[in-house]
Amino acid sequence: MASVSTKAAAKKPVLTPTITLKGHRGWIRSISDFPDGQRMISGSDDKTARQWDLKAGKEIEDAQSICEECVYTVAVSRDGRYVVTGGGRGELRVCEVGTGIVRIFEGHSQSINCVDISADNTLLVSGASDETARIWNLGTGKLVAGPFDCKDRVGAVRFSADQKKLAVKLATGKSLQVWGIQSQKLDAKVGDNAGPIFTHSSVFWTNNDETIVAALNFTKDDYYIKTIYELDGSTLETIEPPFEGHTTYVNGLALSSDNALLASTSDDHTIKLWAFASRQLLASFDVQNIYQLILSPNSRQLTYMINNKDVNKICICDTPADVLAQARAIARKKSRLNQLLHSHATRRPPAGHHRPPMSAMPLAQIHSPRRDPQQTYFLRLSNLLGFSPRMNTLVPGQNDRPHDPLDISATLPLPSSLSVQAAPRFDHFVRQHLSFLTPRHNLGPPVVEVAPGRKFTRLAAAKLPDYKKVDDTRHPSSQQATVPQENDSGDTDSLPDVHWCKAFLCFCSCWSHGRLRMPPRWRLERVDIPRHDGTASSSHGGAHGRT
């Protein structure tokens, strides 16, 4: 399995704690921030859950909770209303912060190892050593779904953002499962259950619930969980490359809220910071006796626990500003690239897809491009010719926003105010000074409209061999009545050979009438063809033009 090679600095930088919280008399197992970033809660083997004032850097003694068993996991709801603690012998408590009411959720038979609260603050999921995960109503304490039979001790759980799926990582670090919450069935599983290690490192849903990040070990001969993987949320196939760099098992994992920075801790006494989008190792710090870590809601602070036989404390450090900025820059760059790759402009249609012809598409789906009123060609021409409309017209279906009266879809009927005021003024000017642009639909013989293609082929198909286009200057007069060969490429249909200025004014004239140019129409006149008796048939005079 390939991985991105990284180069660590020869001299590792040092993390200096800005706040140190002391008070627990046993191993600190779990910490969680309040959403305001001003408080924190921690759980310990000393059978207490303590809250801390981060500004004052000391414990809020009135908020201390004394439990019957060791506290292995804590969590705070995103609205700051509920505090959850889970511990030994299936003790699961929910405290409502505002009222102080404590509810005990009964169901698990062994220690609670992990909990998570849904994004809408209504559901609570708990994972325990009784090899089950359960989903509860956070407000009432009633069981909503489960128990989910996970076949081994549960080490980490996480709701998807849409609350339709549940990610479960076993405590051995050897297996990851995805459950459907509504169906309560196992949707996907990877790895097996065997393993002696007991780890509580977290799992995270990323990329709009499309992928999952977790520290896992799929190697049977090596039981160290030292590699961090990103897996497809539906199939649990690994997305290469993984995050590699730790030398022993990962005991803590944290992902910033914007999915830019990934932080990890390990028994190798290091904290590593990664650019999540590129898998690049940005920084590595040596910290002795470290256990688990979290990132603050704004990712500007990094909090971890130090546990040994002499001291148990919580350390809060500032996340290196340059590292955070670099991770976010890499995330933005990848996001722009993904948008470009998945945009409609670069997306290829599926195999067998054929774009419908314009005539078959509903008019509501045919839109003319929106033009800046200051850049409208017709407005420029209007100013050049000495008149400009002074009214604002509303285009149906555009939220009735006032804009330039001529900025309308070519497939929509012309607004009445525009047709009454602006169009006559312009038509009068055209007829007086630009008569060559005036359509001559009612002059000469009738217009015959035939199917697209080579015009002589069309005439033959229309059974009109005795018609020709008047004043066809592309052929000598001697060849006017002669039908060219099929391979004559010089006789294909094209726009009239006129000066570009006339063509531009013709386009503006068509645009002013609120309609697109129609399909090719040739004005034809009858050709005098000698009869068998030597006489000739009469022809009808007429003018030619394309409308």
Please state the length of the chain: 547
| Amino acid in the structure at residue 214 | A
CA dihedral 15→20→25→28, nearest 10 degrees, is: -50
- Residue 172 CB coordination number (10 Å): 22
The first and second tokens of residue 50, run together, are 């303590």
Please tell me the predicted confidence (pLDDT) of residue 378: 53
Cis peptide before 413 (omega within 30 of 0): no
Cβ–Cβ under 8 Å, residues 242 and 228: yes
Please tell me the predicted confidence (pLDDT) of residue 505: 72
Separation between Cα atoms, residue 518 and residue 501, nearest integer Å: 20
What would the pLDDT profile of 216-241 be if each residue is shown by its tens digit?
988 877 778 899 999 999 999 999 89
Please tell me the predicted confidence (pLDDT) of residue 485: 42
Please tell me the predicted confidence (pLDDT) of residue 396: 42
Output 459 or 283, whichever has higher pLDDT: 283
% of the chain surpassing 70 pLDDT: 59
Calculate mean pLDDT across residues 341-363: 53
Please tell me the predicted confidence (pLDDT) of residue 450: 47
Highest mean pLDDT among 2-6, 298-302, 463-467: 298-302
Cis peptide before 147 (omega within 30 of 0): yes
Q: At what angle do helices 377-385 and 416-433 cross, to 10 degrees?
A: 60
What would the pLDDT profile of 484-529 be if each residue is shown by its tens digit?
444 444 444 444 445 667 667 766 666 655 555 554 445 555 554 4
What is the architecture of the domain spanning 26-266? 7 Propeller (2.130)
CA atoms within 13 A on the CB side of 502: 11
Please tell me the predicted confidence (pLDDT) of residue 326: 96
The first and second tokens of residue 291, run together, are 């256990």
**Which residues, 6 or more positions from 347, have their beta carbon under 8 angstroms from its beta carbon?**
none
Separation between Cα atoms, residue 93 and residue 103, nearest integer Å: 6
Q: What is the DSSP string of 300-333?
A: SEEEEEEE-SS-EEEEEEEPPHHHHHHHHHHHHH
Q: Which of 262, 271, 270 is nearest to 326 (CA)?
A: 262
Separation between Cα atoms, residue 405 and residue 380, nearest integer Å: 14
What would the pLDDT profile of 143-182 be if each residue is shown by its tens digit?
999 899 999 999 999 999 999 999 999 998 999 999 999 9
Cβ–Cβ under 8 Å, residues 276 and 264: no
Q: Of the ranges 5-14, 305-314, 468-477, which one carries the lowest mean pLDDT score?
A: 468-477
Separation between Cα atoms, residue 283 and residue 273, nearest integer Å: 5
Torsion 88-92-98-100 (CA) sign: negative
Band of residue 459 on the pLDDT scale cut at 50, 70, 90: low
Band of residue 8 on the pLDDT scale cut at 50, 70, 90: very low
What would the pLDDT profile of 303-332 be if each residue is shown by its tens digit?
999 998 889 999 999 999 999 999 999 999
Please tell me the predicted confidence (pLDDT) of residue 221: 74
Q: Where are the domains positioned within the chain?
A: 26-266, 267-338
What would the pLDDT profile of 416-441 be if each residue is shown by its tens digit?
444 444 455 656 665 666 655 555 44
pTM: 0.63
Cβ–Cβ under 8 Å, residues 269 and 285: no
H-type alpha helices, 346-454: 377-385, 416-433
Calculate mean pLDDT across residues 19-41: 95
